[in-house]
Amino acid sequence: PAPNFQTLTAPAPFADETSCQCQAPHEKLTIAQARLGTPVDRPVRVYADGIFDLFHSGHARALMQAKTLFPNSYLLVGVCSDDLTHKFKGFTVMNETERYEALRHCRYVDEVIRDAPWTLTPEFLEKHKIDFVAHDDIPYSSAGSDDVYKHIKEAGMFVPTQRTEGISTSDIITRIVRDYDVYARRNLQRGYTAKELNVSFINEKKYRFQNQVDKMKEKVKNVEEKSKEFVNKVEEKSHDLIQKWEEKSREFIGNFLELFGPDGAWKQMFQERSGRMLQAFSPRQSPTSSPTRGRSPSRSPSPPFPWLFNKASPPSSPKAASASLSSMSEGDEDEK
């Protein structure tokens, strides 16, 4: 039959709930033959096993490599039970049911084998008609053996995959242990009880107090951010005001210099008015070509007010002034 594409739209089936997908006689294949391609009704059956605790991208990438080793392949994934894992490796975070379900929802998996054996036997390989076993090439020592895949390698059925650096179940657990206080406080805040988290009474109070402190810090941080935004807005507005003030001040200074500067309009106006005032106060000289009115050249005309031009003191009394005026009139009559 054609390869099972049901895994792209539904969870992969369990091996004990379905019949073997390979109906053709199971003939042993070499890696070279498998890489050249096989008939549609004879996909290469690749097996990958593991614990798959805290299923992550490193697990998925390993399964992707196993699925794409050959042009036409069918990927079976074996998952060890809790009893077997706790016995040979240690305690797991996820139980076996959770680990089975995680594998069933991986797009590269065609079939899941529950309660997989720790060491692969010929009977197990024959039962599931497995052609090749895919795993990283690092020797995996366990159950009294230096490498549990040694006999698979000797039989020419082992195909290595590459591990993804920077991610593993042990790394994730290490992060949780390292940041235990942070995760405990977070879960207490989300409603978990101290009993569920296996936290003592004192630690519970400490974590809750730390949560309150963190809330206060967050509020202070929010206030600081809002204050910074306000200050930035004020600075922008003040910058605009200063710029406008500078423009207006330059305009004012320019107008002031035009009016009161060395060559300003005010100085010209002042000079014009000063000239008019000087002309108004200074007497005009008679022109040299004016007629002499028949006066003899030997006799100079007498001024109308002789005391103004006389070096002697002016008349001391009105009577003297009147006498002077009388003499002046008589003199004029004699002259006539």
Would you say residue 328 has pLDDT above 60? no
What integer pLDDT is reported at residue 202 of this predicted model?
66
pLDDT digits (tens, 9 = 90+) for 170-198: 999 999 999 988 888 888 888 888 888 88
Confidence grade of residue 333 (pLDDT, cut at 50, 70, 90): very low
**Which range, 8-17, 195-204, 218-227, is most confident?**
8-17
pLDDT band (50, 70, 90) for residue 249: confident
CA dist 146 → 120, 154, 300 (Å): 14, 14, 155
What share of the chain in percent tops pLDDT 70?
72
- Per-residue pLDDT of 17-44, as tens digits, reads 875 555 545 688 899 999 998 888 889 9
Supply the pLDDT for residue 60.
Answer: 97
Distance CA 56, CA 248 (A): 67
* Residue 71: count of CB within 10 angstroms of its CB: 12
- Alpha carbon dihedral 193, 197, 200, 201, in 10-degree steps, equals -10
As a whole number of angstroms, the distance between CA 41 and CA 20 comes to: 12
Cross-strand bridge partners of residue 284 = none
- Tell which residue, 30, 109, 101, has the closest CA to residue 73: 109
Q: What is the pLDDT of residue 264?
A: 66
pLDDT at 50 over 70: yes
Span between the terminal Cα atoms of the chain, in Å: 164
pLDDT at 335 over 50: no
Of 211, 233, 20, the residue nearest 111 (C-alpha): 20
Among the listed residues 42, 47, 55, 164, the one whose alpha carbon sits nearest the alpha carbon of residue 104:
55
Instruction: Map out the domains of the chain as residue ranges.
Output: 31-161, 169-264
The pLDDT tens digits for 125-163 are 999 999 999 999 888 777 667 888 999 999 999 999 999
What span, in angstroms and rounded, lies between the C-alpha atoms of 331 and 329? 5
CB 187 within 8 A of CB 194: no
H/E stretch holding 98: helix 96-104
From 110, 109, 85, select the one nearest 97 (Cα to Cα): 85
Give the separation between CA 270 and CA 309, rounded to whole angstroms: 35
pLDDT at 308: 47
Q: What is the pLDDT of residues 51-109, one digit of tens each?
A: 999 999 999 999 999 999 999 999 999 999 999 999 998 999 999 999 999 999 999 99
Distance, CA of 2 to CA of 101 (rounded, Å): 25
pLDDT category at 312 given cuts 50, 70, 90 is very low
Question: Options 3.40.50.300, 3.30.1490.20, 3.40.50.620, 3.60.15.10; which CATH number does 31-161 get?
Answer: 3.40.50.620
Q: How confident is residue 311, by pLDDT bands cut at 50, 70 and 90?
A: very low
Percent over 90 (pLDDT), the chain: 38
Q: Which of 146-150, 199-203, 222-226 has the lowest mean pLDDT?
A: 199-203
Q: Mean of the pLDDT values across residues 246-273? A: 72
Q: Which pLDDT score, from 0 to 100, does residue 181 have?
A: 86
What span, in angstroms and rounded, lies between the C-alpha atoms of 162 and 142? 20
- The dihedral formed by the CA atoms of 14, 20, 21 and 22, expressed in degrees to the nearest 10: 150
